[in-house]
Every structure is written in C-alpha cells, then in structure tokens.
Structure 1
Amino acid sequence: MMKREILPLFLFLSLLSTNIVVPYQYEIEEYTGVKGSILFRGMVDLNATIPIECYEITFDTSMVTEGKVWIRIDDNGTIRERIGEEGKVYRYKQILITLLTVGQKSVYVEFAANPYYERVTIECDYPGKLARSGDILNYSLRIVNHDNWGKVLDLQVFKKEEDWDIRFKTGNDYVNKIFVPAEGIANIDLEIITTTETELGTYETIIRVGSGSLSLYTKIVSSFSSSGNTILKTDYTGLVGEAGDIFRYALTVTNKTGCDREYDLSTVQKPKDWEVRFTDGEKYINKIFVPRDQSLSLTVEIETTGDSDIGTKSVTVSVGDKTLRLYITITETHKGEKGILTLTVVDEEGDPIKGAKIEVYSNSNMIEQGMTTSDGKLQLNLAKGEYTAEIEKEGYYIKDIEKFKIKMGKTTDIGIVTLESKPYAAEVSVDMPFKTVLLGENPVYAIKIENLGKNNDTYFLDIRDLPERWDYKYKTSLETTEAISQIYINSGETKTIYLEIIPPYEIEIEEYSFKSIIKSSIEEYEEDLSVKFKGEYKMYLYSPKLAYEMKQGETVEIELKVANTGNAGSLTNIELEIEAAEGWTALVDPEKVSSLKIGESETFVIKITPPGDIVPSDYKITAKVKSDQLEESEDYRITIKKESKTSIYGIVIIVAAVVVLLFMFKKYGRR
C-alpha cells in the first residue's frame, strides 16, 4: 500500500556550488525490509543558502504507515537540524538511515515512524536444521537493538508452512512481545512444530522482530544416520488401564550428537485435561543435561481423567527436537461417578484425633463437611474438581489444606495431617443437655471437661440465665452434697462434674433454659442446658369396705370412690372393669366418667351377684379403674355363707305349729 505525506520544511543548506536543476530525487536503498524514495523540491544553489520549500516521501511497504523526515547536514563538522517550524527541533525514533550525497556534502535522511519498527537485527547461530515429519525444532534467537533507547517489539511470523505451529517462547511461557534494552541484546526461543503429513523437502520460515527479519530453513528428511542423533527409547509405548489412572513410561535418552547437550522436555500433543509430567523418580523436571555418548533415564507420567472415554488415545512428548508418541488404552470409564477424599488427623505425638471437623471448599464456597472417627480417619465423597479444606478441632490451631484434585471414581489420599495443640484449650461436653423431670425433682447434668491444652489449667464454674429463686451447685459426684466453684485439670486429663439445678417448690409446668459457664485461663466455654418439668398423674381409690359376706342368691353392693390426686392434669374417660369368676355378674353405675379435674372425685356403685349354684366359699373380685392416662385396681373379698339346717327345721316346726293352731282355732272356735 502506498502512503504519501507532504509537509512544509524550511531548511537552510550551506553548499558551495551554483544552482542545480530541481527536483532531485534519491532512491533509498532497501534496509531492514523497508524500501522507498525521497524527493527534494525547490531551487538548490550550491554557492548560497537556498530554501527547500517542501518534500515528499513514498514507501512501497505497509509496515510504515506515517512519518516525517529529519535531515542532518554535515558542514565541516557542524551539524544543523531543522524540521517543522523554524528553529524548533522535533525528536523522532528512527528505523531507517540512508546515506545520500549532494555534491561534496553528506546528507543523512532518517525516516521516523512507528517505534516498533526501528533499527533491529535478528541473529541465529544455526538458521538451518534437519528434521523428520512431526518433529519439533527449537531455535535460539538473539534480538539486537542498535539504537540508544530501549524498546518493546512485536514478535511476528511473516512466512511459514501451512499447518505448522510456530511460537516464540521463553522458558515454559509463550510470548508475542519482547523488550530489548538500549544498544542491548535479548534472547528468545522459537519453536517450530511440524506435522506428520509434511513432505520431504526444504521449507523457509521468515520471522520479524520490529524492523528486523530472519529466514530459517527446515529440511524434512526421511531418517537420520545413527551418528549425530538423539535416541529416545522406551520398552513399552502402549499401556492399558482405567480412566483416572496414572500411567508411567520409563524413557531413556541417549546423546549421539557428538557434543554435550541440554534438552527441553515438553508435551506436544495430549487429550484435553490430561496431565503429562516428566520425573526423575523424586521430583518433576523440565530440562535434562546429557553428556555426549551417554544416556539418562527418566519417567514420563501421564495422568488421565476419570471421565475419559473407552478407547485408545495418544500422547506425544518431546526431548529437545526429538518426539515420541505414547499410547494409552482406556478399558473402563468412571464418567459421572464421584471421587473419594481420605485423610488421617493426628496430634503432635502421632495419636489419632477423634471429632476433628473437616470443611471442604470450592472457590471459597463450603460444599461438604465431615468428622474424623475414633481412629482419626475421614472419608468423603466429592464430585470431580479442585478443592481446598480446613480442619479444626477444639484445643488445636486450624489447619488449612492446599489445593487438591478429586478424580471421578478414584481415591485422593491427603495422608496424615498433624494438628498443633494450643497452650490453653479445653473441650466441654454435656451428656444430656435437655432433661425432662417430674415436679419436685432436681435435674442433674453430667459435664465432661477435657484439658486439650499443653498446660495444666484451673476451670472456674458458673451459671447464667437461671430463673429467679432457683439455685444450683456443681459437685464432683452424684452422691456428694458438697458444692465446688472450680476444678483443676492436668494437660490431657478429663474430669466429669455434675451440675444440680434446685428449683423452688411451686413452679409452672413448662420448659426452662439456662447456660453452664466453664472459664479457663484464656477462654470461656458456654453450654446451653434446658429442663422441662412435668406433672404426675395419680389416681386414688377408696372403698368403705374391702370384704363382704353374702348368702347364695343375694346381691352385694360395693361403693368405690375414684379421686384425681395428681398434678399433671385431668383424668379422662374413666371407667371400671370387673374381674370375677365365671357366672358372676356386675353392674356399674355410672358406667363411664368423661373427666376428673385435679382434686375432683367420683363414686362408682358396683352391684355383684354370684351364680345360683355357687359353692359357699371366699371369692376375689377385682375392680380395675382405667383412664386415658393411667389405671389402678382394687381387690375385694366376697364370702358366700352356707344356710344352717337347724334353722330350716325350726322354720318347719314354727310353720307346723302355726298350721295346727289355725286348725284348732277353726275347729273348736271360742269356748
């Protein structure tokens, strides 16, 4: 693309010759990729000062978009600079200097434009390399800044083979800009990744850094000779396993290049989310040094994902400019499954810690938690992802677990986590913080204090929010009546104390709450306690007599008084059930009482009739009084008496005498 710019320029030149024909046009020679021309307009008198009214610059490259001209005249050692307004000098960073000659004087025309396209050159010791299809080539480049100011330059690939991947890199980072200090040098690597489809032949790659450019040549050959080569060897290039497994390949690198070499270790190609690492068995590495004619062994570690599909996949790794393709066959996938997190929490002496709480976080959000068992172990099921964790336990400093990964269908074992105990700390627990007792009883709470701190400590005992007129006392045992106000506990020791609550005699039947306060040297422990009082249902039965006598054929009447003597509430649906021998009958009046309030009573009348052929004897009758709340019973003894024969005979004689008298009276009348 052609760019044109015309600016007024007043410049006084001291030249020695006479007028010459104008315009003068000078071609600018090709320099660092830029070609153009400069055209002087106006009368030039070699013997006098002749103004040049304006100038015109043209370039045939799109790299330069705009600019101005800065002309310097070397007049017997005196440099005069003019641009723009008379007497004012404008400074522009320069990318092009072309030497022009006007008579015996030297004129330097310097084109000032985009500062990224300046005086820069690119150097490479080995701009041509041999490779095979699919190889990776690395070129070490030096970027030289010839100007006296530092600059940030773009890194560009001007020409490359289609489908090749070309990147600038420093260490493990890929970059697209570089800073070069004033009159200094910056080093950068260029990585060229060829494809396996590249045909034999020589290919040119052109790179540009600022105004500098460099051609690199890659010759694709079918094979290398055994000498002058790097040899990669592994006994097994294909392994079989499940998704989520880690596959390890033993790799030997032999240096046959004829000189000592340092090799970069990198991954060329792998399935998405798989991780590839190089290790020497103890640590991960990314560079190796191999003396000439010697070998070095390392391990390629490939970590697959749990959701990898079943089938064979490949991973390509490179050692220097040599590549090796490895294959993994997945026989079972764990897609959709959760992973398992395991760990063990111990104290500073290695003893397991029970009840340590573990909270698992994902991006600062708590997503799961759990508690360690008596052996200090924890197991949690988690979805695939990266997590952090926090472990806390009363008496210990909080422990943070750095990032760890959970894989589908696999177990991630964090291992042993040691918690550091605090100087003063305790764990306070109550066996049953909520109690229900009858009115008139005193609730007692068993409180366990475990000194988890490194030091012995004294704990002061108090209570808070206890209702008015209530009392309390801490005791060392259930049997003692002696109260204590503090207790001394050695480090690592556990003691149990008892808190007895003493309410007044008359209280409402409801729930009451208060707090037990345990104060150590530096902390206060608060336990929420509550008690619910309930009344007692009581039923009182009373009969004037519990033993009755009767004759055959007679009916006995029993009175039974039922009273509600409890304090829990009304007795409801009260009725009697009579238990007697077979053939006996019982009538109860009333048959049922719907309710008896506290203090009320009701008298039931029971009429008992034995069977006609009953044998005289003592019999037991039981009256069961049932309600919705409870039942009570009362036993009665019924004695059936025999009839005396003498009495019968007497009655017969009396009846006979009366009959005789009546007969005599009727026969003889009054005389």
Structure 2
Amino acid sequence: MKKLALLIAGLLVVSFFPISNAQPWVEIFEGRVKIGESLKVGDYLIKLTQNKDYQPYIIVYKGEDIKALQMATFGTVIEVESLKIVVGSLEDDKLFLVIQWKPELVEEISPKPGEEYKIGDYIVYIENVTDKQTSLKINAKDYLIPMNSSIIYDKLVLEYKEGKLYAYLVKVSVEKVPKLDYEVHYPFDSITAKAGETVEIPIEIINTGDTPITLPLRVVFKPVGWEVKIKVSDYEVNELTLKPNGQTGSSVTAKLEIKIPSMEKGLKIIRFSIGKELGEIKIYVQQKEEIEVKLPILSIESEAGEKVAFPITLTNYGPDKIINLQVVEKPKDWDAYFMLNGVRVRSFLLPGATSQGATSEIISLVAEIPRNAELGNHKIKFAINNATYSFSIFIYKTHEGEPARLIVTVKDEEGNPVRKARIHVGNSTVFTDNYGKAEIELKAGNYKVFVEKEGYEKVREEITLEDGEEKNIEITLKRLPYYFTVEGEGDTITVTTGSIGTYTLTIENLGKEDDAYTLSVLGLPSEWSSEFYYVQSPVRSIKVEAGSSKDVMLRIVPPFNAQPGEYNLTIVVKSSSGFERKLALLVKLIGEYRFEMYPEMPMISIKAGKEGIAYVSLENTGTAPITNIKFEVSAPQGWEVKVVPQVIPELKSHYIEKENIRVVGIGSEQNRITITVKVPETTPAGTYQITITGKGDQAQASTQITVRVTQSSKSAYIGILMLVLTFGAVIWMMRRVGRR
C-alpha cells in the first residue's frame, strides 16, 4: 500500500505540472536501495546513509558540492535543480525511492500529416493535425494530444501548443554505486552549550575494507565567526590514512573542536565530512537565563470587523521561567488578549532548557476589530516580563459606501490572454497585465466598457455595478487580418566620416495573416549609400509570419568627404496589404580630426651666438577643422626659440566645397609658422635637434628641425694658437727630462 501511495503521488506530481509553465517530471528510477549504497544520475550522486540513531538520510552531491541533506522519511520530496527524489518506505535496511528528472527541450516541430521525425531513440509519425488536437504514433503506438497539453512516453515528452509540437527528452541514466569501505560514528548529533565555551565531539573512523584508504577531512559549514577544527592527537588534520580492516591502525578517533563566540545564542548547525560521509551537529547555545522573543509578523492588513492573530515565539535557554503577559495600549473599542493552547492567558510557566536543547512555546496576541474601525494604521502595545513590544494593524476597508470592483479578463479567439490591452470605463483607463487581467475600482452605476489593442477589433460592452460588488467579465478580441508595428532602437545614431552606421528596427506582424514588407530610406544625401540586412544578408523586402517579429539592420555609409553635421532621414516600411509605417532617424556625422606638421627645410645652419630662421607648414589631413592650435618647443638648454604665430585659431580641412563639388584644397598662409632660433655663443660646433609640437582642441602633431652649429673664424684662430702652445710645452718638458 505504501508503494502504491508513493507511486500515485509521483504520478500526480507529473500530471499537474502544465508544460506551458514548466516541463513535467519524468520517472527514471523506481526501486529499493540499500543503506550505504549510492545512485549516480548524470552529474549528481545520491548517497543513502544514516545517523548515529540509525535514521536514514539522503545526501545529494554535484561534484564535491553538497546540494541537499535531508532525513529520508516516508513521503519526503527532495528537489535539486533538474532532479527530484520521492522517498517511500524503509524495509530490511532498504529504502524505496522514486527518482524523477526534468527533461530538456530538444526539438521544435511544425507538425504536418504524413511526416516522420526521429527524436533520440524514438520515431514520431504525424497522422493528423487540427487546431484542437494532433494524432500521432510514437514507435508505432497511437497517441492523441489535445491543444495546450502533453504526453509522456518513456523518456520522451511531447507538447502540442500554438500549432507546434515541442519535444523534451531525458538524457540521463541511473547507475548504482557500491557501498563505501569505511564507517564514521559519533556519539551524539545535538548538544547544549554556553556561549564562549569550547566543546569537543569524538568521531570514530573505521576502515572496513581490505585495502588502505586515504580520506579527506573538512568542515563543510560553520556559523560566521565560529572556529571549528578536526583534530587527531591534538593536531589539526585535513587528510587521514587508515590501514586495512583487522590491522592495527584500521580505526582512529578524531575530535571536532568547536569554539563558540561569547555573543552567540540560539540553535546553530555544524556540518563536516569524512571522505564522502557527511556529519551534522546541532548546538543549542545558551545565554544566562535569557528569554528570547521572536515576532515573525509585525504588521497586518485587515478589513474592519475581522479577528486577526499575531504569533509570538518564546524560547527559554535557562531554567524554568514564569512569563507575564499584559496588553499595555490598544485602540478604543478594540479587544486584545493572549491565547495559549486555545485559552486566554495572562501568565504561564515556560520550562527551562534540557539536554536536548532550549524549550520554546508559541502564543498568539489576538485583536478583535470593531466593524466601525477607522481606515488607517492602528497600534497595539504589549509587555512580556516588563519588556514592551508592539504590533500594527492597517485597516484598508470599511463596510459603508464601499466602491465596486470590476475585474476584466481579455483573451483572443484562441483563449490566450491579451496583455497591455487598453480598457476605458467612465473616467478610468487601465491596461491588462501579462495574464490579460485588469482591475478598476468604480462607484456604483451603469457603465460602458471599451476595450482595444493594436491589431485587434475594438469591443464595447455595457455593465451595471452595485455597491461593494466585485464583478468579473471576460471579453474576447478578434485579431485584424493585416496589422503591423515598427519599433527602432532610439531615434538617433552617430557615425564617423568614412565608417558604417548601423540601426536596428523590429517589424512585428500583429495580424492574422502572413505579410511581406518593403523597406526604403528617404532623405539620404547624394553619394551616401544604404542597405537593409536580415541575418547578414541584404534585403529590400522581408516576410513576417502572423504573430511573429523580425529584426532588420539598416547600414548607412557616408562618403569619406561628407560634411560633418546632422541629417534627417525617414525609414519607410510598407506592407503588401497597403499599410505603411515611418520612423524618423537623425544621423549625426562626426568628422575625422587629424593634421600634420613638416619643416620646409629639415636642416638649418647657425653660427654660435647668431640667430637662424626655419619655417614649418601645417596641413589638415582630416575632414573637419581643428581649432586653437598652440605650440610647444623642446630645444637644448640655454637656446632661445620663438614661434610666430603662437596660436592658429583654425586649421581648415583640405577637403573643401567648390561649386557643390568636394575637392582637395590648398593650405593658406596661416598654415605656416616661423621658428626663430638663437644659439648661445659658447655652444660647441655640432648637430642638434629641436622638436616643435602643435596641440589643438581636437588633435595634435609634432615635427623636428636639425640645427648644425658652426664656430666663428676668431674662435678658430684662438683654437690653433692654443694647440701650438700645447705642443711647444710638451717638447720643452721632454728635453728637460731627457738631460736628467
């Protein structure tokens, strides 16, 4: 019976998950698994183990990560990503499991009668297709799938929705993994300790196999700020090797050392692993005789005339304690009191903590709200052992002069919700949400309801609303045969001269019929070029199926000599049915900023102590003017270098307009600067470099001038005289030394 109940539960899980919202679960394993064994399902490892009290646990690994750890009681459901485990009964150390898997979408089919499709290991043959259902064979077995429903065949799921067949497939298998060759035992899994204490929990590790094993030891989870270590012989270890069963050293006792911070309190959990075995310790941390008060709900919204209850959890970490309760403040004509186990109380005894941990009790503060309560927020203050707390109740509705509430559901002819439909009633206008619903609050009376949406016929309906009435109406919109919209990514693009500008527009066919659309651009300057692309292919027209949309890219290429500025273009999309849409597009063309500097004489000669002049020409090689060019000079130390003029206000481009034709112009005299160089008199003869850099608002350039420095004739004579005197002195010294 237990197995039957579990199977029914599993089938219900699959049957009541509409595939339009989420894929159904497909059963991939059913059977009993022995404690200590594991099942490998895809990337997951499902391990069956038990705690020290021999209670079965299920651990789900994904690689080295632990995705789930839960006691395996009858009816337990564990869900991890695409994996679901349903637990049955435990008999003879074997646990009954049902394992389900969420399949993945592998193919989308537009079914046609007589067509055959191979999906994985399955052959699907389409027999007949209608708007309401499709009939088919799977591996020669007949099936009928109504619209917006699905079937499961082995590991294949087929869904029929919106005229298409969606195929989902389970691609994993289940393998059994043998029991581990070691055991891990620890004496208890929960303790009570004081904040600031250090506790040690012994852990016995036994090698039950015939070969040596090496096990990693690690702390999997600990509270923030806690210090937890695994030690053997007072040494912290992260790996342990055990000899084979029967030999000395086949078992060892480690200890889990836990240092509890002084400010901690409440229930804390430590998780650790020995190899693939996972352990868990619950620690109830106590503060000195402290009562903990938890208020899970602080504020409630309610109608007048209702009775509301606020739960309060009291936890005692110390000895037995008398709890005194008192309502300190409440609104006029309200009634407020405490309830415990179905009776009104003002005080009670809360038992103290035991070896199993702290004790808790849940009480309720009940507030009875009069029907004439005012709208707005109301507070109730109360005290627990002289500590004051408060709750608030917001009254959002009274029963006098209540307005009516109209709920409108808008659907299309196929029963699908229509979102963003415009609903106008009286002086109110709202739009439907993603579920095709909208709510309007109105005074009582007679109204005309107008519903409209792009691509649909308008609908008008008359209704009558009474005081406080909540009325639901459903309106069906009929789709127009031909209708479309065009949306672009903004209304402006920026293009650099000589580059390509791109703009994406989306054409959405909202009509009932397929349609084709021609594309064109108006206002494009001469010598400019443009092209529409769909999936990297140039197009002049494009076909869009009913209810679908397509993105088209417009590429605009201005010529290299195009004048920078702003250009207004119009994109025209015209359907074959005669409808036309236009998009205004502003193209901002930015020029290319670049100029060059070069000396008219790359080398000049200057005598030391004299001045020389050099000329440097500037040429704008870009497509736009460069403004405010200033000059910087780098020369040898002590040299005087002047630049005239020091600033060029504007350097025009070579590309100019002449009789409506763009031609290469000639630089003006203003594009020439004069460099005056004065060389110090003491400068030795040689070759020197001067660097001139022009920096404009948009760009900069630099060039170099080589200066060859020569000496005057007077300096040459002095040099010769010094050489003669030097040689004479050397000869005189040689003769004198020779006599000695």
Q: Look at both structures and tell me which one has the larger radius of gyration over its CA atoms.
A: 1
Normalised to the residue count of structure 1, the TM-score between the two structures is 0.36
TM-score computed with the length of structure 2 as normaliser? 0.33
